[in-house]
Copies of this chain bind each other. A is one copy, B any other.
Amino acid sequence: MTRQSRQMLIGLQLGNGYGSQPMSWRAPGVDPANYTSFDAQVRYAQAAERGKIQFFFLPDFAGLTSDVTNDSPQLTLEPLLTIAAAARATERIGFVATGSTTFTEPYNLARQFKTLDVMSHGRVGWNAVTTSDPNVAANYGAQIAPRPERYQRAHETIQIVQSLWGSWGEDAWLKDTETGRFADPDKIVPINLQGQHVASRGPLPIPPSEQGQPVIFSAGGGEYGLGLAGRYAGGVIGATFSIEDARAQRESIREAARAAGRDPDEVKFFAGVMPAIAPSVREAVDRRLRIGEYSLEKRLPYLGSMLGIPIEASRLDRPLTPEQLSAARPSPFDPRAPRALEVAREGWTVREILAHGVIDYHPTPVGPASVTADHMQEWFEAGAVDGFWVSVDVYEDGIDTFVDEVVPILQERGLFHTEYEGSTLRDHLGLPRQYGLDPRLH
């Protein structure tokens, strides 16, 4: 058993410059101009690197669909350029960005991700996802193709991208001033790949980075998602609310890797966490109340439907009644419902129940840093995950809090490394070197 398999891996989500919680642009201490501030993103990256965090994960979505009247868009202006800025200001932390296989040409994806990998000295990953949102398609004057076709294009795109990465041979760059040989042309060869949806000839004129080429990540499960993860992914960005579900997802992914002829330890599964950290549960709830001051009540109707009871807006600052609590039936369709009822039974007001993050996108441990560390330890030791991607509520102080309070607990417990194992993202994740297509997949 290697060191990596005994210790958890941690990524941090990086988005709009404010934080992952709604209304974080308006949170105390946050500069509301951070949406366009790359200095802020650089500061966050440096803070995370201080905590030996393995990577930042930058989700992406090529469009604007949220209402921006009172809240900011969720994402960075553009993830690759954000990484270019943050990589120059850091030395070890990795950067994984989402790039759509549906609307970007493989040659452009291959070129930009490999350039970033060279710029960062081998610290980049590509989260290769298909796009199914018609709002994004409209930005490209396109329609959304049926799922089988989208995934067919994804397979073709990833294979072309990896082949382009390998098209400048790993030892092709001689740069020998004595002999005057710049490169060995026999090792720089076109790929001539023609798929049904995309094609490219190559070669790509980019030498290898310190890790060879970027790590592929994937997100999303199901038969099609597993097909991608099993064949190509070094990491999977997951979303799950229970240890059992996480373990099942992780097993499916490992099985898909085995089926593709790979060692399942070459695919790391990351579950999401959205911690609410403060010295006490009360203070952690108060922090979330302050951040979400202007938005929590909008979520009230959903809380009611999740618990199967009507909740009047007038109850916002009162606990549920004994009648409501006994009538509540957690929705079988929402895995977050049991936790919501549990919190309600503790006697919190409705607004406070919501401030526990009970309807957030990932589990929310609430309270001192040890609560978050306990959550992570429990899931990790249950074999449910290889690590976590952590969405910090407000970046400005939240990354420091995670790094200064949660990370040391995990380190003391021997669950998280105290120093980077190497200089590249593959080193950090304990992944084997790969250059070009994986020959086992041929």
A residues neighboring B (CB under 8 Å): 25-26, 32-33, 35-36, 38, 42, 62-64, 67-73, 77-78, 80-81, 84-85, 88-89, 103-105, 107-108, 111-112, 114-116, 118-119, 135, 138-141, 173, 175-177, 180-185, 188, 194-195, 198-207, 294
Give the nearest-CB partner of A39 in chain B: B88
Copies of this protein in the assembly total 2
- Give the chain B neighbours of A64 by CB distance below 8 A: 188, 203-205
Task: Give, as a whole number of angstroms, the nearest-CB distance from A395 to chain B.
Answer: 16
> Out of B67, B78, B185, which one reaches A69, CB within 8 Å?
B185
- Give the chain B neighbours of A81 by CB distance below 8 A: 80-81, 84, 112, 115-116, 119
B108 touches A188 (CB 8 A): no
CA separation between A176 and B35, bound complex, in Å? 13
B72 touches A182 (CB 8 A): yes
Task: Give, as a whole number of angstroms, the nearest-CB distance from A244 to chain B.
Answer: 38
- Give the chain B neighbours of A205 by CB distance below 8 A: 63-64, 68, 73, 77
Closest 6 CB pairs of A and B: A141-B199, A84-B84, A138-B201, A64-B205, A78-B115, A32-B175
A78 touches B180 (CB 8 A): no
17 interchain pairs (CB within 8 A)?
Answer: A26-B180, A32-B177, A36-B207, A62-B111, A64-B204, A68-B182, A68-B205, A69-B181, A72-B182, A77-B206, A78-B115, A80-B81, A85-B119, A105-B140, A107-B140, A108-B108, A140-B200
B119 touches A38 (CB 8 A): yes
A141 touches B70 (CB 8 A): no
